[in-house]
Amino acid sequence: MCVSVAVRCVSMGGRGLCVVVVNSISCVLFVVHIVCVGMVREIHGTNIVPYHPVEGDEKVFEVDWSAPFRRVSMIDELERQLNATFPPPTQFDTPGLCKGEVI
């Protein structure tokens, strides 16, 4: 839970600038969630929006921006989606890894 968030907005030459100060990563996630959901609602009028991964393709996914967001383990999900196996994170800086020589 987010304990404290301080927001200071000022006008700078006709442009608005807001600075957000938070005290933990949970507050950062909370603020990002509020901004994302608010932007999606403002643009689309709803939290559920259609996503067309390939233009012209009839395959459409619905993206639901409602809370709570599903927590994802980045490496596990990439391995599942790409049907690949990554080396342990301690080996990510191995020379040649980015060139596809190790995987």
Handedness of CA 80, 82, 85, 88 (dihedral sign): negative
In tens, the pLDDT along 35-61 reads 888 899 999 999 999 888 777 777 888
Q: Maximum Cα–Cα distance for the chain, whole Å? A: 52
Least Cα distance to 39 among 65, 16, 58, 14 occurs for 65
Q: pTM score, two decimals?
A: 0.49
In tens, the pLDDT along 66-103 reads 877 777 888 898 888 888 888 888 887 877 766 554 44
Integer Cα distance of 12 and 23 in angstroms: 26
